[in-house]
Amino acid sequence: MSTEAAKTEVGSYFISNYPPFSQWSGDALAHIQSAMANPPLKQLQRDGSSQETPLGLYLHIPFCRKRCKFCYFKVFTQMNAEEIERYVSALTREIELVSQQPVMGRRPIRFVYFGGGTPSFLSVKQLQSLFQRLHQSITWEQAEEVTFECEPGTLSESKVIALRELGVTRLSLGVENFSDAILEENGRAHLSKEIHKAWDWIVAANFPNVNIDLISGMVGETWDNWRENVRRTLELSPESVTIYQMELPFNTVYSKDLLQTQQAAPVADWQTKRDWVRYAFEEFQTAGYKVSSAYTVVKDPSKVSFSYRDNLWRGSDLIATGIASFGHLSGVHYQNVPEWNQYLGALLDEDRLPIGRAFVPTKDQSLIREMILQLKRGYLETEYFQTKFETDIAERWKDVWASYVRDGFAEMKVDSNGHCNRIELSMDGLLRVDALLPAFFEPQFRGVRYT
């Protein structure tokens, strides 16, 4: 039942939400407007009581020095200082407008995520000005985590110090690979010496949590080089490491080239990419790290969590700000407009929120969303879904689970009454988790374009 081609084909994607983005539309805008205009909904707890829904904030900074040939994010590479300033003004105004919405309630912001693009593309001055302006309308003093994504070559010692002073607690560094030939081939803007320079500043600034991103299956990757990537990452000893398996969604440079030339992708097949991640997980485990999801190993889970991911996967609210960014408030999915002029025009000329499309999931779709996201951790607790969605997920999808158990991807754990209380993925299952998820999609969303 796993839905995977052996080769890495154009059109593969990373599942981060449900129902697929392609199904969201402008017709549902009234629903997100109404969600924003009303107090927040509460979340049902295990003991039957209800509690405030955790609230997070995502800010999209869409600038990069260069477009990597594998990248599928909304990024701009040719913007001048004046255009960046207009963007920062629009983002500031957006946050001001959102902060006035009743849906905020009196909730503190529990986690903040500066993603991109490359947030570290902004200069120290631009960053200080952005934070200062944001804090005029919003505070995240009580946030347990402030993540900031960085591309190594955009960092300087003063920028790293400024980020720490501005309250960043989790710095995520896009290393991707340590081989200069591979970095260059894949269109990365940085080389390995910039990783090492940045690393010394990062260590000196003493962030509570530093994450390194790697990609298994960059063009040109080999076993020897991959072992070297793992060895050098271990040498740096970050708190966590995130390893993505290379995807080729439609909008990457590589995908467009491949579709034009009708050639096979020069990216390793899925089995090889999984073998590389398996090898990396084993090496990190030998060094004391724990596997915390299909993509992540963590040095000390008792000290370091990943609040953004864990909250989002349990149905928290997320305010999405910045161009094309997507969020979720009071049970409604929404996404901002994806074009530069539309985004700036909405905020700076029309003084309104730049939301472009939305979707109101049914309760069943919210259940599926949480289940497939939480499965990426490697296990599901059935009681959580029974309490929150009144559904026995083991029973409801018993045929799918049975086929995954047969294939060696999953195991059903039972309590003393013979009732399944936990579903666990094997390492084989975890490494292909994205291919296991579409089996839980409703029939109308199988085979549709994802974004």
Ligand X SMILES: C[S@@+](CC[C@H](N)C(=O)[O-])C[C@H]1O[C@@H](n2cnc3c(N)ncnc32)[C@H](O)[C@@H]1O
67 binds, among ligand SF4, ligand X, none (CB under 5 to 8 A by kind): ligand SF4
Residues 241-260 binding ligand X (CB under 6 A) are: 244, 246-247, 252
Q: Which of 174, 238, 327, 361 binds ligand X (CB under 6 A)?
A: 174
Query: Least separation, in Å, of the C-beta of 252 and ligand X?
Result: 6
Q: Find the DSSP H helices in 28-123.
A: 29-36, 81-99
Cα-based angle 420, 426, 430 (whole degrees, multiple of 5):
110
Query: Least separation, in Å, of the C-beta of 35 and ligand SF4?
Result: 29
Query: Least separation, in Å, of the C-beta of 208 and ligand X?
Result: 19
Taking the least distance from each CB to ligand X, the nearer of 201 and 384 is 201
Q: Which residues pair with 44 in a beta bridge?
A: 50
> Which amino acid is present at 101?
Q
Instruction: Find out whether the peptide bond into 117 is cis, omega within 30 degrees of 0.
Output: yes
Which residues make Cβ contacts (< 8 Å) with residue 142, sequence separation at least 6? 108, 109, 110
Residues 322-381 binding ligand X (CB under 6 A) are: none
Q: Which residues in this chain contact ligand SF4 in the complex, by CB under 6 A? A: 64, 67-68, 71, 73, 75, 116-118, 151, 174
The H or E element spanning position 412 is strand 410-414
In the complex, residue closest to ligand SF4 by CB: 71
Query: Least separation, in Å, of the C-beta of 176 and ligand SF4?
Result: 8
Q: Which of 71, 88, 109, 212 binds ligand X (CB under 6 A)?
A: 71
Taking the least distance from each CB to ligand X, the nearer of 53 and 325 is 325
365 binds, among ligand SF4, ligand X, none (CB under 5 to 8 A by kind): none
Q: Is 89 exposed, middle or buried (0-12, 13-18, 19+ CB in 10 A)?
A: middle
- Say how far apart CA 178 and CA 328 lie, in whole Å: 36
- Say how far apart CA 246 and CA 95 lie, in whole Å: 33
Is 186 a residue that touches ligand X (CB under 6 A)?
A: no
Is 176 a residue that touches ligand X (CB under 6 A)?
A: yes
Q: Distance between alpha carbon 167 and the CA centroid of its chain, in Å?
A: 21
Residues 384-403 binding ligand X (CB under 6 A) are: none
Query: Least separation, in Å, of the C-beta of 78 and ligand X?
Result: 16
Is 194 a residue that touches ligand X (CB under 6 A)?
A: no
Is 116 a residue that touches ligand X (CB under 6 A)?
A: yes
Residues 25-64 binding ligand X (CB under 6 A) are: 64
- Say how far apart CA 277 and CA 285 lie, in whole Å: 12
Over its C-alpha atoms, the chain yields an Rg (Å, rounded) of 22
Q: Which of 94, 145, 151, 239 binds ligand X (CB under 6 A)?
A: 151
Query: Least separation, in Å, of the C-beta of 352 and ligand X?
Result: 27
With H, G, I as helix, E, B as strand and everything else as coil, classify residue 359. Answer: strand
* DSSP conformation class of 63: B
What are the φ/ψ torsions at residue 267 (nearest 5 degrees)? -110, 140
Q: Which of 8, 92, 118, 177 binds ligand X (CB under 6 A)?
A: 118
Separation in Å, CA 371 to CA 100, 160, 374, 384, 397: 32, 37, 5, 10, 11
- Locate 146 and state its tokens: 């402030």
Is 76 a residue that touches ligand X (CB under 6 A)?
A: no
Residues that bind ligand X (CB under 6 A): 64, 70-73, 115-118, 149, 151, 174, 176, 213, 215, 244, 246-247, 252
